[in-house]
């Protein structure tokens, strides 16, 4: 892949939230930014790439490019799509959203044919953001953010509804509460040298049982989840070229550059050095 570049999102009069008109460019090179970008297809034949996945959208479909994900507009018809962009801070300020980011960030496409209620809600909300954004309402910023939060709740509920609960000894709600508490602790302390035992002690479970719940509810192990959180933190640090790659690794919580390089490449598909170069 080539011709990558970092896109600097300029949020207009409504802080942290931006919305296009329907004259979005027909093509746009692969790029990334520290903002989420949710696109609604207005016509059939909208083709995009997120990371290494290609998506062809029909009218009404929704594409979700999350913060720091490489995305590209391959081809869309004239006036074929509109999208809203919002700061990653809106997600990061809510630990419940961050704790399920593993699931959210894997959700990149929602079909209008398969999930019409979800896609219609997102489309209507983006239209409402556009309406508010162009108004002279003194509370426009807060109202736009409220729309974004409502979209995030809708997507979160949609994503969480696909999780299968197979616990036989506890109710799903009780088990999920343990997982949320564990994820919150990990997020808040990921820069430190924490272990699975630290987290288990904090939430009041045995290390073995926490590991069992993690695999069941998060579809990944504790070490893998911790690596994901640290890689997300490192990716943000790599945006600042005054910080060395080694410092990015240790500031994010990795205990060695080898572990950092391996985890970063496994999760993003790029070495930290190449990742930074792509977003020049």
| Pair of tokens at residue 100 | 């399920």
The pLDDT of residue 101 is: 86
Task: Say what percent of the chain tops pLDDT 90.
Answer: 56
The full set of domains in the chain, from first to last, is 5-160 (2.60.120.280), 172-278 (1.10.10.60)
219 backbone φψ class: left, alpha, beta (φ>0; ψ -120 to 50): left
The pLDDT of residue 167 is: 41
The pLDDT of residue 31 is: 83
The pLDDT of residue 11 is: 47
192 or 220, which is more confident? 192
The Cα angle at residue 95 between residues 72 and 173, in degrees rounded to 5: 110
Residue 163 has pLDDT above 50, yes or no: yes
The mean predicted confidence, pLDDT, of the chain is 87
Angle between helices 222-238 and 257-268 (to 10 degrees): 90
Q: Average pLDDT for residues 3-13, to the nearest whole number?
A: 49
The pLDDT of residue 135 is: 87
Q: Average pLDDT for residues 60-78, to the nearest whole number?
A: 93
Neighbours of 94 (CB within 10 A): 13
pLDDT tens for 250-273 read 999 999 999 999 999 988 888 999
The pLDDT of residue 166 is: 45
SS3 135: coil
Q: What are phi and psi of 5, to 5 degrees?
A: -160, 150
Residue 109 has pLDDT above 90, yes or no: yes
Categorize the per-residue pLDDT at 95 as very low, low, confident or very high, splitting at 50, 70 and 90. confident
Q: Average pLDDT for residues 81-98, to the nearest whole number?
A: 89
Residue 206 has pLDDT above 60, yes or no: yes
Q: Average pLDDT for residues 148-168, to the nearest whole number?
A: 81
> Which residues are CB-contacts of 171 (< 8 A; sequence separation ≥ 6)?
none
Rg over CA atoms, the chain:
20
Under a CB-based contact definition with an 8 Å cutoff, are residues 77 and 46 in contact? yes
Name which of 155, 136, 34 is nearest 85 in CA terms.
34
10 or 243, which is more confident? 243
Q: DSSP class of residue 165?
A: P
- Calculate the alpha carbon distances from 239 to 178, 247, 272 in Å: 33, 13, 11
Cα–Cα distance for residue pair 116/85, rounded to 1 Å: 22
The pLDDT of residue 172 is: 55
Q: What are phi and psi of 254, to 5 degrees?
A: -75, 145
pLDDT tens for 25-66 read 789 888 888 889 999 999 999 999 998 899 999 999 999 999
């Amino acid at each position: 892949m080539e011709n990558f570049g970092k896109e600097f999102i300029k949020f207009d009069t409504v802080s942290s939230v931006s919305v296009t008109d329907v004259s979005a460019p027909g093509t746009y090179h692969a790029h990334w930014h520290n903002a989420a970008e949710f696109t609604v297809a207005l016509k059939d034949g909208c083709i995009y790439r997120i990371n290494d996945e290609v998506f062809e959208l029909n009218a009404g479909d929704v594409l979700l490019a999350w913060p720091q994900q490489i995305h590209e507009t391959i081809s869309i018809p004239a006036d074929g799509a509109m999208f809203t962009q919002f700061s990653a801070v809106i997600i990061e300020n809510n630990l419940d959203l961050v704790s399920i980011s593993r699931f959210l960030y894997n959700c990149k496409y929602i079909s209008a044919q398969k999930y019409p209620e979800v896609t219609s809600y997102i489309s209507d909300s983006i239209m409402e953001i556009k309406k508010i954004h162009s108004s002279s309402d003194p509370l426009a910023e807060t109202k736009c953010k409220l729309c974004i939060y409502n979209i995030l709740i809708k997507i979160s509920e949609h994503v969480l509804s696909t999780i299968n609960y197979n616990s036989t000894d506890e109710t799903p709600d009780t088990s999920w509460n343990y997982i949320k508490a564990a994820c919150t602790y990990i997020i808040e302390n990921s820069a430190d040298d924490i272990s699975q035992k630290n987290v288990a002690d904090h939430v009041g479970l045995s290390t073995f049982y926490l590991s069992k719940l993690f695999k069941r509810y998060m579809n990944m192990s504790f070490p893998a989840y911790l690596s994901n959180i640290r890689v997300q933190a490192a990716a943000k640090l790599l945006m600042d070229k005054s910080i060395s790659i080694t410092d990015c690794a240790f500031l994010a919580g990795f205990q060695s550059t080898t572990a950092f390089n391996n985890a970063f490449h496994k999760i993003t598909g790029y070495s930290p050095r190449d990742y930074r170069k792509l977003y020049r």
